[in-house]
Structures are given as structure tokens and as C-alpha cells.
């Protein structure tokens, strides 16, 4: 696959050719794409797929997979992001193409560590499982055939011959319901290909073949997919140095897996709408636990160390504090801690001004996303920053949440989610408990988002309309692409992304 700074005109494909490229709404991603695309499209596709996979993850923990709710929400997400999901829709070429290319781009980013690989494989499997589940029965066979899987459906006669044995062997076929068996296809595959089924005696074996009902075939297909994808990622990791040496791609790939892909909460139309004396009450009503704990620590100790100042300070900027307010806020508190006002001016105010973009290279730093807080700069002794769900010992977390008046039932759910490393979903649960709603209605990925949504509920949801729509990826605002060289193409990315990269690279030094 080649990357060019120029958006080249692709030869227009005729409809038949298009359909031949992607005969199905889903695939196993066995062949990498071979067209040229622009850097811009490269990045957009990647970002969109990250959004998709994160939704897949979120939906997977907030709903039982396979239920009506889960299925419809996931379908909506796919439709929104314009990826393929269903057969027999119109204009399926473009969504399938986007799906194909974006998958392979993400392999480059997510092959780099064991954790990233595991996450990527898990979400891609869930996605595949969903798409397979909505395949119409008549399409299943042709899909399997086109994917070169040797799954042969047996004839009705052969089914009837073995009816009793099939029902007795497969947990998914409940007896007595011969009619269910009539409707469902049964596939004959070599026994070694059905390891997970036959080892637990969950399938009928005869003469070296496993007779697998359709719903169990899914398990086999997913296992096969996982094995192949795992191997592919290992291979990709090996050839990564060659890819990374392309300067245009290196920064993008490096931060893609850590990237926050939603609103950056940097420019707020509500700057100045918060007054300093509101902060204490806001901290208990609308702050996420990470910021609530930082605020409390600041009030109690009249001091915060660098990590805490950065995380909390930028958050405050995001909720609307102006530079003047920020300077006043911090100085007031530090002076209470017997700090010399002059010392504050000399040592600390510069940093605050710097974070507002008024010093040095004048980049307007953006408040940290959840990903950033969870993944980087873990707190040490004497620190209060980080994510409590990630960084607090479960017992301490429990105590903290109890002091925040979380109910025992909610507490258990939250702690379970924490155990399953679903930190942001745990925080969502916390939001739901403290705001008395069943479903917070958003997928939490940023502390300022927590604040914004909380304020929305508490104020009856009337104002703040212009912040409510998430902007499309930065490039959507760009007009027609002019010829640019690689570095300026990257520079034209939203400044927040660029900043993230630098900060991240600093932190990872």
C-alpha cells in the first residue's frame, strides 16, 4: 500500500468490479489492500475504526452480547461511522472498502505490545461475531465457501439419520425440538478443527468428523480468526521498523493506540462562566472522582505536585476557568499553605500561563483524556493524580466511593467492572449512581465530558447546545486538498493531536 500526500484520482471502478472486490459485508481480512490512498484518508480511516472498536468494547461491557439492545446499538454505531455490517443494502462498496483498509491500518498500530494486541483481537472478534450473527442463512454458506473454509453442510437426509445423536451431543440444540434441527444447518468438519467443541464432548463425532450445528460453527470460525489474526500481528510487528521509518506515519502510528478521538474540550464557549466560589460545590456534584480527589487534596494540603497540577489545572481550564481565574485560584490555595506569594509568582505562575498557551511555544494545551490519565504517568507516593478506578487499591476505592455516598449495590457493580479493567465504564456507573439515572447516555472517555454531561443533567439539559455535537475528525473541516508535503500535512492535523504526540513522547522518554 502506498501513501501519497496528494489525493490521487483513483480509476473509477464499474459496479460489477466493485462488487467483486468485496462480495460480502464481512471478511476475515486475509488480503491486505493494494490501492493508494492519501495520508488524510489514512488517518481518518484509522481514527474512525478506533472509534468503532472502542464502541464495541463499551457496548460489550454495558450490555450482554447478543441481546436486542447490544445488537441494535452496535448496528447504529457501524452505520454512523459508515462501516459495513449488513448485506443487501445499497452502495455497499464504500463501507466495505473502508472496513478493509482501516483494519489493516490499525494492525500497524496495535501490533506493538501484548496488551494492545489482546485488546485489538478481542474487539475485532466481537465485531466479526456480530456481523456473522446478522448474516442471512442463505448467505452463510457462500460466505464460508468464499473464505475457503472447508465447512460442508450436510443434507437433510443425513441430518435425519443422526437426529438423536445430534440433539444429544450439542448443548445448543435443546431436546425435544426436532423442528429446530430441521431449520438449522449442520456442518461436517474434520474433528481436529473443532477442538474446543469435541474436547468437552459438546459435539457429535463420527468417523473422524464433527457434526457442528450452525451456532457452534461461529465459535470455530472465531477461534480460527483469532489464531490467524494473532499470527498476522506477530508478523506485522516484525516488519514494523520498515513502516515506522516512514516519517509521515511514525507519529500517527505511535499515538494512534493512545489517541483520544473525541472532543478535545480545549476551546470552550463557556470560558468565564464558572466562578471560583462555585468550584467546591461543583467538585462534589459534577466532577469525576479523579478531579474530585485532586480538588480535595489541594484544599487539604494547600499544595499539589506537578502531575496533579497538570491534570487538574487543565481540567479546570476545560470547564471554563480563564487564565486570570486560574492564577488566582492556585495562588490563593498555595498561599494558604504558607507559601510565599512571591515564590508562587516566580515558580508556579509561569507554568500556569504556559499551560494556557501564553508562554514559550504558545501551544494551548488540552485537558487530559481518560486514556491518557489511565495509561501514562501513574501516581506515586504523595501524588493524587491518575484515575482512582485504575490506580487506587480496591479497598481504598471502596472507602472513597462510600464517602461519596455510592450505594452498596452500585458499589459491587463498580468494583466488578474495575476487576475486569473496565475503568471508564466503572466511572460511567459512578456517574449513573450519583446522578440517579439508569443509563448515562454517553460513552465516557474524558473527564471534561463527565463534567459537561453532569451539568447538562443538573441544569435540565437546556443550554450548552453547541458543545453537544462532537466535531467530525479534524479533516472534515478542511476543504479540497491542495498539494502538501508530508510534514505540513501532519501539521494541518488538529493541534490537539499534535500536542498529544509531543507530550506523550516526553512522558514516554
Applying CB under 8 A, which of residues 11, 136, 157, 200 lies at the interface with other proteins? 200
Q: 202-205, long-range: CB within 8 Å, 24+ apart, which pairs? A: 202/169, 202/170, 202/171, 203/169, 203/170, 204/162, 204/165, 204/166, 204/168, 204/169, 204/170, 205/169
Rule CB under 8 A: say whether 192 interacts with other proteins: yes
Nearest approach in angstroms of CB 214 to other proteins is 19
Window of 43-51, 139-147, 195-203, 259-267 that interacts with other proteins by CB under 8 A: 195-203
Rule CB under 8 A: say whether 392 interacts with other proteins: no
Rule CB under 8 A: say whether 199 interacts with other proteins: yes
* Grid coordinates given for 3: 501513501
Window of 193-201, 219-227, 236-244, 395-403 that interacts with other proteins by CB under 8 A: 193-201
Question: Phi first, then psi: what are they for 447, rounded to 5°?
Answer: -60, -35
CA distance 435 to 144: 48
Nearest approach in angstroms of CB 168 to other proteins is 6
Binding mask 152-171 for other proteins (x = CB under 8 A): -------------x--xx-x
Give residues with Cβ within 8 angstroms of 484, minimum separation 6.
5, 492
CA distance 408 to 398: 10
Binding mask 208-237 for other proteins (x = CB under 8 A): xx----------------------------
Rule CB under 8 A: say whether 479 interacts with other proteins: no
187 membership: H or E segment, kind and range: strand 186-190
204-206/209-213 β-pairing: antiparallel
Rule CB under 8 A: say whether 201 interacts with other proteins: yes
Applying CB under 8 A, which of residues 3, 93, 198, 329 lies at the interface with other proteins? 198
Question: Phi first, then psi: what are they for 187, rounded to 5°?
Answer: -110, 140
Rule CB under 8 A: say whether 187 interacts with other proteins: no
Number of DSSP helices (H) and strands (E) in the chain, helices first: 26, 6
Shorter beta-carbon distance to other proteins: residue 38 or 169: 169
CA distance 35 to 266: 36
Nearest approach in angstroms of CB 222 to other proteins is 17
Total residues at the site for other proteins (CB under 8 A)? 18
Rule CB under 8 A: say whether 176 interacts with other proteins: no
Shorter beta-carbon distance to other proteins: residue 119 or 191: 191
Residue 172's Cβ-side half-sphere holds a number of Cα atoms within 13 Å equal to 17
Shorter beta-carbon distance to other proteins: residue 156 or 206: 206
Rule CB under 8 A: say whether 207 interacts with other proteins: yes
Nearest approach in angstroms of CB 99 to other proteins is 32
Applying CB under 8 A, which of residues 206, 246, 247, 324 lies at the interface with other proteins? 206
Nearest approach in angstroms of CB 165 to other proteins is 5
Q: 477-482, long-range: CB within 8 Å, 24+ apart, which pairs? A: 478/40, 481/6, 481/7, 481/38, 481/40
Residue 391's Cβ-side half-sphere holds a number of Cα atoms within 13 Å equal to 20
Binding site for other proteins (CB under 8 A): 165, 168-169, 171, 175, 191-192, 195, 198-201, 204-209
Amino acid at each position: 500500500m502506498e501513501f501519497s500526500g496528494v489525493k490521487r484520482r483513483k480509476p473509477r471502478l464499474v459496479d460489477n468490479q466493485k462488487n467483486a472486490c468485496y462480495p460480502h459485508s464481512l471478511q476475515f481480512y486475509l488480503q491486505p489492500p493494494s490501492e493508494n490512498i492519501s495520508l488524510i484518508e489514512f488517518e481518518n480511516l484509522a481514527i474512525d475504526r478506533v472509534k468503532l472498536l472502542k464502541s464495541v468494547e463499551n457496548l460489550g461491557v454495558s450490555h450482554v452480547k447478543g441481546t436486542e439492545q447490544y445488537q441494535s446499538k452496535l448496528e447504529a454505531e457501524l452505520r454512523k461511522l459508515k462501516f459495513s455490517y449488513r448485506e443487501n443494502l445499497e452502495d455497499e462498496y464504500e463501507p466495505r472498502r473502508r472496513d478493509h483498509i482501516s483494519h489493516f491500518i490499525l494492525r500497524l498500530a496495535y501490533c506493538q505490545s501484548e496488551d494492545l494486541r489482546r485488546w485489538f483481537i478481542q474487539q475485532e472478534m466481537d465485531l466479526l461475531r456480530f456481523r456473522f450473527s446478522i448474516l442471512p442463512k442463505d448467505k452463510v454458506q457462500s460466505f464460508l465457501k468464499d473464505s475457503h473454509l472447508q465447512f460442508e453442510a450436510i443434507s437433510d437426509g443425513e441430518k435425519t439419520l443422526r437426529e438423536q445423536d445430534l440433539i444429544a451431543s450439542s448443548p445448543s440444540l435443546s431436546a425435544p425440538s426436532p423442528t429446530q434441527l430441521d431449520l438449522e444447518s449442520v456442518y461436517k468438519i474434520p474433528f481436529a478443527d473443532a477442538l474446543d467443541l469435541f474436547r468437552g464432548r459438546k459435539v457429535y463425532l463420527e468417523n473422524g468428523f464433527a457434526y457442528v450445528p450452525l451456532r457452534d460453527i461461529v465459535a470455530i470460525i472465531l477461534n480460527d480468526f483469532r489464531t490467524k489474526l494473532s499470527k498476522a500481528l506477530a508478523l506485522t510487528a516484525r516488519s514494523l521498523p520498515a513502516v515506522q521509518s516512514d516519517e509521515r506515519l511514525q507519529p500517527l502510528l505511535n499515538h494512534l493506540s493512545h489517541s483520544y478521538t473525541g472532543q478535545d474540550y480545549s476551546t470552550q464557549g463557556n470560558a468565564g462562566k464558572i466562578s471560583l466560589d462555585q468550584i467546591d460545590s461543583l467538585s462534589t456534584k459534577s466532577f469525576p472522582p479523579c478531579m474530585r480527589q485532586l480538588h480535595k487534596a489541594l484544599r487539604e494540603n494547600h499544595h499539589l505536585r506537578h502531575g496533579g497540577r497538570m491534570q487538574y489545572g487543565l481540567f479546570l481550564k476545560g470547564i471554563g476557568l480563564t487564565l486570570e481565574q486560574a492564577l488566582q485560584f492556585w495562588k490563593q490555595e498555595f498561599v494558604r499553605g504558607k507559601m510565599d506569594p512571591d515564590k508562587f509568582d516566580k515558580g508556579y505562575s509561569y507554568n500556569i500561563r504556559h499551560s494556557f498557551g501564553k508562554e514559550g511555544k504558545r501551544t494551548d494545551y488540552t485537558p487530559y483524556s481518560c486514556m491518557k490519565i489511565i495509561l501514562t504517568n501513574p501516581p506515586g507516593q504523595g501524588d493524587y493524580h491518575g484515575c482512582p478506578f485504575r490506580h487506587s487499591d480496591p479497598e481504598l476505592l471502596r472507602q472513597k466511593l462510600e464517602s461519596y455516598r455510592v450505594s452498596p449495590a452500585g458499589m459491587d457493580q463498580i468494583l466488578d467492572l474495575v476487576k475486569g479493567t473496565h475503568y471508564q465504564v466503572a466511572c460511567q456507573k459512578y456517574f449513573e449512581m450519583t446522578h440517579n439515572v439508569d443509563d448515562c447516555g454517553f460513552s465516557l472517555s474524558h473527564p471534561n465530558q463527565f463534567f459537561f454531561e453532569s451539568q447538562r443533567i443538573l441544569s435540565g439539559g437546556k443550554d450548552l447546545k453547541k458543545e453537544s455535537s462532537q466535531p467530525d475528525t479534524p479533516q472534515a473541516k478542511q476543504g479540497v486538498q491542495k498539494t502538501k508535503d508530508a510534514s505540513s500535512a501532519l501539521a494541518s492535523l488538529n493541534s490537539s493531536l499534535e500536542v498529544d504526540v509531543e507530550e506523550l513522547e516526553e512522558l514516554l522518554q
